[in-house]
Amino acid sequence: MKYQTQDNLQNIGVVIPAFNEGNNLRAVLDTVCAIPWFYQIVVVDDGSTDDTYVIAKQAEIRDARVLAMRLPENQGKAAAMLAGVRALQSNLVMFLDADLKGIVENHFLALCAPLRNDGCEMAIAVFRHGGLLTDASHIGAPYLTGQRCLHRAVAEQALTPLAGTRYGVEMGLTIRAKTHGWRVQKVIWMGVTHQMKEQKRNILPGIKSRWQMYSQILTVAIQARNSRGMRRYSKVTRQFYKLSRP
């Protein structure tokens, strides 16, 4: 597929939420900052205790497009994403995790292409051939990926009620897409992976963190089912596994 050229790419901002990603963030920022057509790049340090914010500030000094933000305490991924979105002045926002590996410019072109060419409301990136664990995760539940592209105003509206959650943001965005009839396009990112929680925090702490993540996802799902104006959620949950298949 032929993606857009640099000449017709405008007003695309990047938001990178980061919590204790000092070991990974620099490499991601080096790649992202090398893309000349990104309009803004916002890194939101979600109350890290390592040098995540220092690395973001260093990038801010080197590149005028970069804004390093720091939340005073850990508030969760949705709150960090919302803070980043509110700092943007772009039409589109691309969300990227701070621990990605194997990303190149063509991945970004592919992710924003559906919104500019096909008029969909959200594009999501699904990993393939990057790593056994991440491949398996994205095959089983691709709609829980953190790599997404949306219209900035739409993203702000969707993230505002999710800002009190932590790991439930991906599930929350998936539910909102379904209940609001969004057109969602899956984009395959070949050769891309990221560190799993078990790799970052060792086996037992990683497993504990993963269970906490799934607990938060379930909480968002239950809240969505019980929320006024989202009664269609019961149908969504029955079909969720089917929808998650690539």
What pLDDT digit, counting tens, does each position of 205-220 carry?
Answer: 545 554 555 555 555 4
Whose tokens are 């990926």? That residue is 145
In sequence order, what are the beta bridge partners of 94? 14, 149
- Cβ neighbors of 126 (< 8 A, separation 6 or more) are 138, 142, 145, 186, 187, 188, 189, 246
Query: What pLDDT score was predicted for residue 89?
Result: 94
Q: How far apart are CA 202 and CA 177, in angstroms?
A: 34
Query: What pLDDT score was predicted for residue 214?
Result: 55
Question: Per-residue pLDDT averaged across 81-91, rounded?
Answer: 97
Q: How far is CA 12 from CA 39, 147, 155, 214, in A?
A: 5, 14, 13, 31
Question: Per-residue pLDDT averaged across 147-155, rounded?
Answer: 96
Query: What pLDDT score was predicted for residue 119?
Result: 77
Report whether pLDDT(161) > 50. Answer: yes
What pLDDT digit, counting tens, does each position of 126-138 carry?
Answer: 998 766 676 677 6
- Where do the domains of the chain lie, and which CATH numbers do they carry? 6-244 (3.90.550.10)
Residue 36 is given by DSSP the state: T
Query: What pLDDT score was predicted for residue 223?
Result: 53
